[in-house]
Amino acid sequence: MERYKENQLKVYNSLSKTKENFKPITDGYVGMYVCGPTVYSNAHLGNVRTFMFFDVVYRYLLHLGYKVRYVRNITDAGHLENDADEGEDKIARKARLEQVEPMEVVQRYTVDFHDVLKNYNFLPPSIEPTATGHIVEQIEMIKEIIAKGFAYEVNGSVYFDVHEYNKKENYGILSGRKVEDLLNNTRALDGQSDKKNPQDFALWKKADEKHIMRWPSPWSDGFPGWHLECSVMSTKYLGESFDIHGGGMDLKFPHHECEIAQSKTCSGVKPVNYWMHTNMLSLNGQRMAKSTGNYILPNQILSGENNILPKSFSASVVRFFNMQANYRSILDFSGDALEASEKGHAKLLEAVNFLEKIEAAKISTFNVKTWKKECYAAMNDDFNTPILISHLFEAVKVINQIKENTASLTAEDLVILKETLNAFVFDVLGLMNENMQNNSEKINGVVELLIKLRKEARENKDWALSDQIRDELIELGIQLKDGKEGTTFSLN
C-alpha cells in the first residue's frame, strides 16, 4: 500500500538545520545509508540507540509503502585511535594486545553486534558492506581525487587538501565550522607530519613495519583512511546522490564533513539530500562511553548481570524506553527510567492483547479515524515517537474503558483500531508481544517434556506410547526429528 502518497513526511535536516518536506530522488524509492560500528569491541547501549532509531525510520518508510535500500556498513579497517590520523588502527591494536589475527577480532565483534540486533528485534539492512571488501574501490576513488587536484601524496601516504577544496566549496557546510577557525583551534604541526595543513585528512596511510592490516596500492603498502569507506560504499550502492544519511551526532565532524568533501569532489553534486543525526545516551548524567568506563552493554540488560540496574529487563522494554524521547535529544539511562518504561510497556501490550476479546457495538464513543490521523501526524513530524506513544496511550485508555463497559466501538472502528495499533506497536516501533513470547517458551517447555517422556518410553520399549506421542504432536503441527545428538522439533 502506497501510504506515502497521503502522508507528507517532514525530516529534520542537519544540513539546513530545519525540518523539510521529505521528497525522495526517485518517487516511491528511498536510499538510506547509516554509519555502522567499528568492530573492535562490543557495541554499548549508547551506540545501539542510533541503530535502533534508524531501525524505526526504516520500518516506518516500509510501512508507508516505500521501496527502501538500507545500507549500513561494518568498519573493519582504517579507523585509527583518534581523528588526527594518528595512533594505531583500533582493530589492529586489539589484535596485537590479544595476540590474534585482526579478522578474528572483526569476526567476534561482528557476530556480537548481529546477536544484539537480533535480540532487540532489528530488521536487517538491505546491504551490509565492509571496508575491507571495498579496498579496490577506495583506491580508485583516491586516484580520482588526486587527478582532480584535491589530494596529494607524501612518503607513501595520501591526504585530502582541505584548503584547496575550500577555495571552491565549503568544508564545514554540515557542522557549521570554518576552516579559519579550525586553523586557530588546531595545534601546529610538529614537523613529523606529512600533512600540508592540520585540517587535511588521510585518504591512504602508509603502514609502518608493525602495522598488521595492509594492502598494496600505487602509493605504498598501507590502508585507507576511515572517512573514505563510507563515501565509496554509499555511492556504490546508492548512487552519487541519495536520500538519507544517518549516524550519531559525534560523527557530524569530522567524519561526515569529510564524506561530503570526498564525494562532491568526485561527482560534482551534493551527495546527500537529508542528513540525520541522533543525540547521545547518558548514564549517571554523563555521556555513555567506553573510554570512561561509563557504559552498559545491551545483553547485560537482558541478563541482569551488571552493577547499574536492580534487575533484568526485556529487549522490548528497552526499545520502548528509547522511543519515549526524541532522537535529537539527550536521553538519560537509569534503573528508575527502565522500571517506569516497563510499567508503561505492560499497560500498552495488555491493551493490545485485550483487543481480540472486544465485541463490536452499535455506536462508537471514540473518534478512531481522527486518532489514526494523529498517530500518522506524529510520525510524519520527523519520526516523533514520544508523541506517537502518547496517542497510543489514548487508545489504551479507550480499551480500558471498554473493559469497564463505559465506552464502545463499532465493528468498522474496531478493525481500524486493531490494524493501526498493531501496525505502530509492532511493525513501526518494533516492540515484541511478550505474552506471545512467554506462551512460546511454555510451548517449548511442554514439547521438551513430551520428548523426555517419549525417550523414556523408547528405553522401556513401550513403542505404542512412543508412537502415540509422536503422532499426536504431528497432528498439532509439531514435527519431531530423531538424530545422533538427540531429538529436536520444528513447528509446521
| pLDDT per position as a tens digit, 36-81 | 999 999 999 999 999 999 999 999 999 999 999 999 999 998 787 6
Contact (CB, 8 A) for 335 and 308: yes
pLDDT range class, residue 84, cuts 50, 70, 90: low
pLDDT, tens only, 255-273? 999 999 999 999 999 999 9
Q: 239: domain CATH number?
A: 3.40.50.620
| Same domain, yes or no: 263 and 321 | no
Q: Is residue 299 part of a domain?
A: no
Quote the number of domains for the chain: 3
- Residue bearing the bigger pLDDT, 234 or 82: 234
| Three-state secondary structure of the chain | CCHHHHCCCEEEECCCCEEEECCCCECCEEEEEECCCECCCCCCHHHHHHHHHHHHHHHHHHHCCCEEEEEECEECCCCECCCCCCCCEHHHHHHHHHCCCHHHHHHHHHHHHHHHHHHCCCCCCCECCECHHHHHHHHHHHHHHHHCCCEEEECCEEEECHHHHHCCCCCCCCCCCCHHHHHHCCCCCCCCCCCCCCCCEEEEEECCCCCCCCECCCCCCEEECHHHHHHHHHHHHHCCCEEEEEEEHHHHHHHHHHHHHHHHHHHCCCCEEEEEEECCEEECCEECEHHHCECCCHHHHHHCCCCCCCCCCCHHHHHHHHHCCCCCCCEEECHHHHHHHHHHHHHHHHHHHHHHHCCCCCCCCCCHHHHHHHHHHHHHECCCHHHHHHHHHHHHHHHHHHHCCCCCCCHHHHHHHHHHHHHHHHHHCCCCCHHHHHHHHHHHHHHHHHHHHHHHHHHCCCHHHHHHHHHHHHHCCEEEEEECCEEEEEEC
Contact 188, 196 (CB under 8 A): no
Phi, psi of 246 (to 5 degrees): -125, 165
Does some domain include residue 470? Answer: yes
Is residue 265 domain-shared with residue 406, that is, in the same domain? Answer: no
Q: Are residues 341 and 476 in the same domain?
A: no
- In the chain, the amino acid numbered 414 is L
Q: Who has greater pLDDT, 476 or 347? A: 347
Domain residues for 24? 3-278
pLDDT at 439: 47
Domain boundary among 378, 396, 428: 428
Same domain for 140 and 243, yes or no, is yes
In this structure, is residue 287 part of a structural domain?
Answer: no
10 belongs to a structural domain: yes
Q: Is 213 domain-assigned?
A: yes
Question: Based on the domain organization, do 266 and 383 belong to the same domain?
Answer: no
Same domain, 353 and 452: no
Q: Dihedral of CA 112/283/123/70: which sign?
A: negative
Q: Is residue 289 part of a domain?
A: no
* Same domain for 340 and 234: no
Kindly indicate the confidence band of residue 181, based on its pLDDT and cuts at 50, 70 and 90. confident
Over range 78-104, report the average pLDDT.
83
Sequence-ordered list of residues with C-beta below 8 angstroms from that of 208, at least 6 positions apart, any chain = none
Same domain, 23 and 118: yes
* Boundary of a domain, candidates 412, 428, 444: 428
Asked if the peptide bond before residue 125 counts as cis, ω within 30 degrees of 0, the response is: no
Please report, rounded to a whole number, the percentage of residues in the chain having pLDDT higher than 70.
93
- Give a yes or no: residue 294 inside a domain: no
The answer on 141 and 30 residing in a single domain is yes
In this structure, are 254 and 312 located in the same domain? Answer: no
Residues 335 and 223 in one domain: no
Span 111-117, mean pLDDT?
Answer: 97
Between 368-380 and 411-422, two packed helices, what is the crossing angle to 10 degrees? 20
Residues 382 and 327 grouped into a single domain: yes
What's the pLDDT tens digit per position in 360-387?
999 999 999 999 999 999 999 999 999 9
* Rounded Cα gap, residues 142 and 151, in angstroms: 8
Name the domain boundary from 380, 409, 428: 428
What is the model's pLDDT at position 32? Answer: 98
Q: How many CB atoms lie within 10 A of CB 82?
A: 7
| Residue 373 belongs to a domain | yes
